Structure 1
Amino acid sequence: MNLLLEFASGLCLLLGCFLCLSGGIGILRFPDFYTRMHAVGVTDTLGAGMILIGLMLQNPQGIVLLKLMMILVLTLLINPAASHALAKAALRNNLHPQLDESSNKGGN
């Protein structure tokens, strides 16, 4: 059973790190604020969630597990709300999404 928990924990940690890394790449690759914010918001929430689940599997008892669960719940609630608030503030300040196709470097 310990080997299975170690494997699942390692898999969650690796997946979480990959998601966070892909969010960082999204910041550099996407053309405007809204697409960058979407990439970071989704991958940050899921990546942090997977990392926290992996850490919960590393220590499945005690106060540490309770603290990690609280952090996970707060992360899952606050990150989407913060992304929505940022998008709404940007739209109110007349930062419009980039809609033209001329910024597509690899397209036809």
Structure 2
Amino acid sequence: MTDITAVLTILFIVLGIFFLLIGSIGTIRLPDFYSRTHATSKSDTLGMILIIIGLIIFEGFTLNSGKLFLVLLFILLANPIGAHALARAAYSSGLSPQFLDKKND
């Protein structure tokens, strides 16, 4: 492994960890379900994608990097769709966003 690939690997993994940390903080700090779902889905998807890209760079052109790429595609498709389905189910069951509750007061 050359110095450039090592630096790129570390950079992508650290950026991914940063976005996962931001998503975790957003889950704790944001006020309602919809805000938390949005923070978690966007930042966790980006964080996992960056980490997997770092692992692909670390692994090189092998069968394992191809498997990691398939996992990356699955995460890229499944996380936003799952978050949307959760938010839609919550809205359909009657959970209103916080900004709508403020208007009724």
TM-score of the alignment, normalized to the shorter chain, above 0.5: yes
Moved over 2 A (4+): none
SS in 1 for 2:4: helix
Equivalents in 2 of 1:76, 1:61: separation in Å? 21
Q: CA deviation at 1:34?
A: 0.3
Number of residue pairs the alignment of both structures matches: 101
Q: Unaligned regions of 5+ residues in structure 2, if any?
A: none
- Per the alignment, residue 88 of structure 2 pairs with 88
- Per the alignment, residue 6 of structure 2 pairs with 6
Structure 1 residues 25-69: Cα deviation after superposition (integer angstroms, max 9, x where no partner): 001100000000000000110000000000001011211111000
Q: TM-score with structure 2 length normalisation?
A: 0.93
Percent of residue pairs bearing the same amino acid type: 41
Q: Unaligned regions of 5+ residues in structure 1, if any?
A: 102-108
Alpha-carbon RMSD: 1.3
Q: TM-score with structure 1 length normalisation?
A: 0.90
Equivalents in 1 of 2:4, 2:61: separation in Å? 16
